[in-house]
């Protein structure tokens, strides 16, 4: 959590309440009453099956505008670069604790040698390359041609790594057609809060994994505090993220993801809180999952 002074916190919260309280109260009230808001236009079942209904085209357009800055470690996406210091060890240790990790042929090529990972929503490849450096074979997909192009361009700087990484302009819905139960694990890091039809999206991701495989999710919890930090402060006040990057109604709690896992014969085995400090661009572990969290589930 931000360690702001009491005066700044008070001013921020007063401003938040004065400017946006109507919006937030409406959202929180709807959640507590079990109501549902949606911006998706009605469509027939047939047309929905013909395209990826999880895609938020406006959000994709916003993100792909950052394609030329994706690999700038001090640019607008520097938080994703520094996040690798916590999410990569979490994913590595999660794999090594499972049968897939124990059966992998670990040697000097890296601890994840022999493990095949699907990364969904890879963007420009910040996490993808980090996983590849651990020896994993990574198939990374994203619906944005611009972001996949940026990922491929950066990968050219490391020919050895390019032998283990494959980038595809694809959606998980389309990818699943030929790749059901193919992977040892799937990773969706800072992705699910950007999609529509979240249960369907996560179900497709789960279906790509073999029995005994792992699912890793990192995202924002859906709380008042996550709204204040993740949207109001990061986007509106400090402008660390482009305005419109996140929508509070798409934040999802670990309890909700756990319900989806259980519906799909999976068990959530670990949930850990994360805290971002923007003044020095660092991430830290925390017991609280009120803002950000990372979760590991196993498919049975």
Cβ neighbour number for residue 147 with a 10 Å cutoff: 23
Rounded distance between C-alpha atoms, residue 207 and residue 48, angstroms: 19
Cβ neighbour number for residue 30 with a 10 Å cutoff: 13
pLDDT of residue 10: 42
Please give the helix or strand (H or E) that residue 268 lies within, else none.
Answer: strand 266-277
- pTM exceeds 0.85: no
Asked if 280 and 268 touch (Cβ cutoff 8 Å), the reply is: no
Rounded distance between C-alpha atoms, residue 228 and residue 236, angstroms: 10
Parallel/antiparallel/unpaired status of strands 165-169 and 116-120: unpaired
- Percent of the chain with pLDDT strictly greater than 70: 79
Asked if 106 and 114 touch (Cβ cutoff 8 Å), the reply is: yes
User: Where is average pLDDT lowest: 28-37, 88-97, 122-131, 188-197?
Assistant: 28-37
Q: What is the pLDDT of residues 55-105, one digit of tens each?
A: 999 999 999 999 999 999 999 999 999 999 999 999 999 999 987 666 655
Q: What is the pLDDT of residues 223-273, one digit of tens each?
A: 999 999 999 999 999 898 889 999 999 999 999 999 999 999 999 999 999
Asked if 187 and 118 touch (Cβ cutoff 8 Å), the reply is: yes
pLDDT of residue 117: 98
Q: What is the dihedral of CA 66, 71, 72, 77, to 10 degrees?
A: 50
3-state secondary structure of 123: coil
DSSP 107: B
């Amino acid at each position: 959590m931000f360690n702001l002074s009491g005066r700044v916190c008070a001013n921020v919260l007063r401003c938040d309440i004065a400017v946006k309280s109507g919006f937030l109260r409406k959202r929180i009230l709807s959640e507590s009453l079990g109501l549902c808001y949606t911006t998706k236009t009605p469509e027939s079942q047939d047309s929905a099956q013909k395209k990826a209904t999880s895609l938020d085209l406006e959000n994709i357009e916003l993100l792909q505008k950052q394609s030329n800055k994706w690999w700038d470690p001090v640019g607008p996406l520097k938080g994703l670069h520094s996040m690798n210091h916590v999410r990569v060890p979490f994913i590595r240790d999660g794999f090594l604790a499972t049968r897939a990790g124990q059966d992998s042929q670990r040697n000097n090529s890296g601890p994840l040698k022999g493990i095949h990972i699907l990364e969904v929503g890879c963007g420009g490849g910040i996490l993808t390359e980090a996983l590849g450096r651990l020896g994993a074979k990574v198939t990374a997909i994203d619906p944005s041609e611009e972001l996949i192009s940026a990922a491929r361009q950066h990968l050219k700087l490391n020919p050895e790594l390019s032998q283990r990484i494959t980038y595809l302009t694809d959606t998980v819905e389309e990818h699943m057609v030929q790749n059901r139960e193919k992977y040892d694990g799937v990773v969706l890091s800072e992705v699910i809060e950007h999609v529509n039809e979240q249960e369907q999206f996560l179900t497709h991701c789960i279906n790509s994994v073999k029995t005994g495989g792992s699912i890793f999710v990192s995202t924002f919890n859906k709380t008042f505090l996550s709204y204040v930090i993740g949207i109001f402060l990061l986007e509106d006040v400090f402008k660390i993220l482009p305005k419109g990057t996140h929508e509070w109604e798409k934040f999802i709690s670990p309890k909700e993801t756990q319900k989806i896992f259980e519906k799909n014969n999976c068990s959530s085995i670990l949930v850990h809180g994360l805290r971002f400090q923007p003044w020095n661009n660092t991430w830290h572990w925390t017991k609280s999952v009120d803002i950000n969290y990372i979760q590991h589930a196993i498919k049975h």
